Amino acid sequence: MKKRIILLVEDNPDDEELTLMALKESNILNEVVVAHDGEEALDYLLATGKFAGRDPALLPQLVLLDLKLPKLGGLEVLQRLRTELRTQVIPVVVLTSSSEEEDILSSYRLGANSYVRKPVEFHRFVDAVRQLGLYWLLINEAPPNKP
Amino acid sequence: MKLGPKLTIFFLLLAIVPTAIVGYLSYENGRRTIIQKTVDHLVSINIFKSNELKRWVKDNESSIEELAQRTWVREFAAVLAKHDIPDHAYQNAKATIIEDHLKPRLKYGGFFELFLMCPRHGLISASTDEKQEGKYRDTNPYFIEGKSHNYIHGIYYSPVLEQPAMTMSTPIKDKQGNLVGVLAGRLDLGELSKIISLQTGKSPTEDTYLVNTFNFFVTEPRFGQGYALKKAVRTEGVGAGLSGKDGVGFYKDYRGEPVIGAYKWLPEFSMCIITEIDQAEAFAPVARLAWVITGIASALSLAAGLLGLFFARTITRPLRQLAAGAEEIGSGKLEQRVGTASKDEIGGLSRAFDRMAGNLKTITVSRDELEQRVRERTAQLEVANKELEAFAYSVSHDLRAPLRALDGFSAALISGYPGKLDDQGQHYLNRIQAASQRMGQLINDLLHLSRVTRREFVTEQVDLSGFAREIAAELQAEDPQRKAEFVIEPQMFVQGDAHLLRIVLENLLSNAWKFTSPRPRAQIEVGMAEQTGEHIYFVRDNGVGFNMTYADKLFAPFQRLHGMREFPGTGIGLATVKRIITRYGGRVWPEAAVDQGATFYFTLGGIHEKTNYPAGRR
């Protein structure tokens, strides 16, 4: 069985740690790769830059994408992903603090599979992450991972 | 009408009206003078000719009288009167009278026949016309009257002579004063006609004649032959003259020609004298006068018209320039100047106009600058607004993250390290969590408020009553234990943005719900009142109310009149309501007292009202 990697794109170390903590508390033990900005996320997904040696066929099972990122914003990353044949169908869940209508609409238009606002209360955040993991990693049938 | 033609017409009128009046008066005056002159002339002819007539008669009268008073005539007349038989003495007397006295007199003119009548039988005993001798004239007026005094038998038609005749007679007396005969003479009427029809001037139509009481011509008129005592004339002038009047008239004469006629009754002859002149001739000078006056008036009018035209051009040229300048300036060419050099009023007006155009230009430039500034400010404001939005966006994102960390890590502490913290430590951690959660709520509400301000209006028909019922049901569902009564006026429809209007009702109703919580039975009313054509909506409750002194503070963000412990809340709800109502151009205001409940009224600025409710929505 292939490794079901989760790509977490998050620049805020607090949020990164809280997300990892929440995943752990939810007993989601999949490998989590963290990209700290948009560029890094794209490098990983497309096996370029510092991830040039990586097997590009090996794609994450789920991308958790923050919108407000240094260098390349989340929406730009999303737009780029959807233009690449290989990454066109990867499930992307936008996980962000923003509840702006504009952001929600743009995300869906650019092909996000889901949009989740990070609740401020930790217990609700943990709850949201657990449900996400459960759904996208176990219930949802992922697209076939072919080169 | 343009000024040019107006001025021309004005000048023309100015010339024509007085000229016409003066012309008419001159004409009238001239006409009257001419007619008066004609009339005077006619009357004087009448007087002159009647005097001539009288003189002619008088002369002949004197002539025949002188004959009758000659000694020889008297003696021989006595001889003729005494002797019945024509003896030698008789024959001698007769011959002497005829040859020595009567016949020589005929040579002087006046009479064409002189004869002597016997006083007893009127027998013509001696006559210059032998054929008449031996005839009796005892019934003739000239014999009967002539016996006692001088007598003139007026002009009559003599059947004997077969022509008009006039006979004059006078008595002959002897030394003792006894009547011895009557001397009579037939007057030559040709002479009379000559006198009467004598032309006094060069007039081609002047005509004088006598008419007797039988309306017969006595003398020949100018335009007729053989009319005397053969033809009657019945004209207006003749009628007036024969009725004994002296005067003048305008009428048609015996030819049917219009004339001016003077008539005069001559009582001593029982005739009237008529002098006429054709109106055509008499009025010829009047017509000439009319032509002259018309000519002068026309010349004057023409001159005035030309003068008017000239003035109109002189005056209207600068005016036209001014109008053209005004047109140019009016169409936005503010640099245009009329530039008239003349020193008159029009020049002044032009210069004033130019100054105005200059000022207008200055004003326009200032206005343009002002508009430019407004545009710049608006652009700056838009930029500032964008920045504010960006700021709000980053607040939403960036402030939440540390809060989540606060909450998350304190939660991790609480759950991950049980027993390592005492109760006090545990309490502090709980407080940190509560505070971060409240701050999260505050941020959410603030963002909500900012979104209300930025949202675009979508206008549609909104059922306020329906919204109120839904919100009431939601509130009741959240807290099923509470006893509450909602009274909602049905069919309140307005035109507006459904989302924003729902936020208004949500805030007002949830406030009402919140502040009625201490009441055993909450009463909340949603309704509408109409005041001076304006619809006022209200939400009323029987809650704890508030002191109206602080009413002003209610609508400012984060302002609260109750403690957090009493009633939870962020103080952003009414600020949101106020913003939405203000965007509609409406008003919102409270009415409340402590423990007496509160009522919030609001209007929607009128234009969004809709009172004729569609049947389908009932």
Q: Give per-residue pLDDT as tens, A34-53.
A: 999 898 999 999 888 888 88
Average pLDDT over residues B375-381: 90
Average pLDDT over residues B576-591: 88
When pLDDT is cut at 50, 70 and 90, the band that residue B539 belongs to is very high
What mean pLDDT is predicted for residues B220-244?
86
Whether A38 and A67 have beta carbons less than 8 Å apart is answered as: no
Residues of A in contact with B404 (CB under 8 A): 14-15, 18, 97, 118-120, 122, 125
Residue B258 pLDDT > 60:
yes
> Using 50, 70 and 90 to split pLDDT, how confident is the model at B606?
low
Residue among A99, A100, A123 whose CB faces B411 most closely:
A123
A16 touches chain B (CB under 8 A): no
B89 and B164 fall within a common domain = yes
Using the Cβ of A79 and the Cβ atoms of chain B, whether some distance falls under 8 Å is answered with: no
- Choose the final residue of a domain: B188, B219, B240: B188
Q: Are residues B439 and B572 in the same domain?
A: no
Give residue B616's pLDDT.
39
Point out which residues pair with B9 in neighbouring strands.
none
Tell me, yes or no, if the pTM score tops 0.90. no
B469 and B584 in a single domain? The answer is: yes
Is B50 part of any domain? no
What pLDDT score does A2 carry? 55
Domain hosting B206: range is: 199-282
The whole-number pLDDT of residue B588 equals: 92
Q: Are B245 and B391 in the same domain?
A: no
Chain B residues near residue A21 by CB distance under 8 angstroms: 408, 412
Same-domain status, B408 and B436: yes
Same domain, B130 and B249: no
Q: What is the mean pLDDT of residues B543-553?
A: 85
| Residue of chain A whose Cα is closest to the Cα of B443 | A120
What confidence category does residue B456 fall into, taking pLDDT thresholds of 50, 70 and 90? confident
Interface of A with B in 40-69 (CB under 8 A): 67-68
Per DSSP, B552 falls in state: G
- The verdict on a CB contact (< 8 Å) between B407 and A120 is yes
Average pLDDT score over residue span A75-96: 92
Mean pLDDT lowest among A96-105, B124-133, B381-390, B393-402: B393-402
Does any domain span residue B29? no
Q: Can you tell me the mean pLDDT for B187-195?
A: 80
Q: Is A24 on the interface with B (CB under 8 A)?
A: no
Q: Is a pLDDT exceeding 70 seen at residue B437? A: yes
The per-residue pLDDT for A1 is 43
User: CA of A145, closest CA in chain B: separation in Å?
Assistant: 34
Confidence band for B612, pLDDT divided at 50, 70 and 90: very low
How many folded domains does chain B comprise?
4
* Yes or no, beta carbons of A125 and B405 under 8 Å apart: no
Within a domain: B578:
yes
Going by C-beta distance under 8 Å and a sequence separation of 6 or more, which residues neighbour residue B168?
Answer: B57, B60, B61, B64, B111, B142, B150, B151, B152, B153, B184, B185, B187
Last residue of a domain, one of B153, B188, B223: B188
Give domain status of residue B608, yes or no: yes
| Domain match, B92 and B75 both | yes
Is the CB of A97 less than 8 angstroms away from the CB of B397? yes
Residues of chain B found within 8 Å of residue A12, distances taken between Cβ atoms: 401
Q: Is B465 in the same domain as B593?
A: yes
Q: Please tell me whether residues B215 and B272 are part of one structural domain.
A: yes
Tell me if B259 sits within 8 A of B253, measured CB to CB: yes
Q: Would you say residue B390 lies in a domain? A: yes
**Does A70 touch chain B if contact means CB atoms closer than 8 Å?**
no
User: Highest mean pLDDT: which of A93-97, B395-399, B570-574?
Assistant: A93-97
Question: Is the CB of residue B382 less than 8 Å from the CB of residue A96?
Answer: no
B4 located within any domain: no
Reading the block at residue B206, the tokens are: 């002047």
Rounded to whole angstroms, how far apart are CA atoms B148 and B170?
8
Q: Which pLDDT belongs to residue B618?
A: 34
**Residue B466 within a domain:** yes
Closest CA to A2 of A135, A146, A113: A146
Split at pLDDT 50, 70, 90, the class of B393 is low
Pick the last residue of a domain from B242, B261, B282.
B282
Residue A133 has pLDDT above 60, yes or no: yes
Residue B314's pLDDT is: 79
The answer to whether position B441 is within a domain reads yes
* A21 with B400: Cβ contact below 8 A: no
The dihedral through the CA atoms of A115, A119, A124, A130 has a sign that is positive
| Residue A101: closest C-alpha in chain B | B451
Q: Is the model's pLDDT at B187 over the cut of 60?
A: yes
Contact of A119 with chain B, judged by CB distance below 8 Å, is answered with yes
Are B422 and B528 part of one and the same domain? no
The pLDDT of residue B176: 85
Higher pLDDT, A98 or B537: B537
pLDDT value at B214 more than 80: yes
User: Does A123 touch chain B if contact means CB atoms closer than 8 Å?
Assistant: yes
pLDDT mean over B408-430: 84
Answer whether A97 sits within 8 Å of B447, measured CB to CB: no
| Residue B614 scores a pLDDT above 70 | no
User: Is there a single domain that holds both residue B182 and residue B219?
Assistant: no
Q: Which of B300-304, B351-355, B557-561, B585-589 has the highest mean pLDDT?
A: B585-589
B438 near B432, Cβ under 8 Å? no
Backbone φ and ψ of B600, nearest 5°: -110, 125
Work out the pLDDT band at B11, boundaries 50, 70, 90. Answer: confident
Residue B465 is encoded by which pair of tokens?
A: 């009553």
A interface test, pick of B386, B389, B391, B397 with most A CB neighbours within 10 Å: B397
How much is the average pLDDT of B43-55?
89
- Average of per-residue pLDDT values in chain B: 84
**Per-residue pLDDT for B281 more than 50?**
yes
Concatenated DSSP letters of B173-222: E-TTS-EEEEEEEEE-HHHHHHHHT---SS-SS-EEEEEETTSBBSS--T
A114 at B interface, C-beta within 8 A:
no
- Give the DSSP letter of residue B136: B
Task: Report the DSSP beta bridge partners of residue B126.
Answer: B116
pLDDT band of B251, cuts 50, 70, 90: very high
Residue B317 pLDDT: 79
pLDDT at residue A135 in the model: 92
**Contact between A14 and B401 using a beta-carbon 8 Å cutoff:** yes
Residues B106 and B249 in one domain: no
We report the CATH number of the domain holding residue B74 as: 3.30.450.20
Distance from the first to the final alpha carbon of chain B: 65
Greater confidence, B85 or B402? B402
Among B396, B408, B440, select the one facing A18 at the smallest CB separation. Answer: B408
Helix axes A122-133, A13-25, angle to 10 degrees: 60
A97 part of contact set with chain B, CB < 8 Å: yes
Give the CATH number for residue B578.
Answer: 3.30.565.10
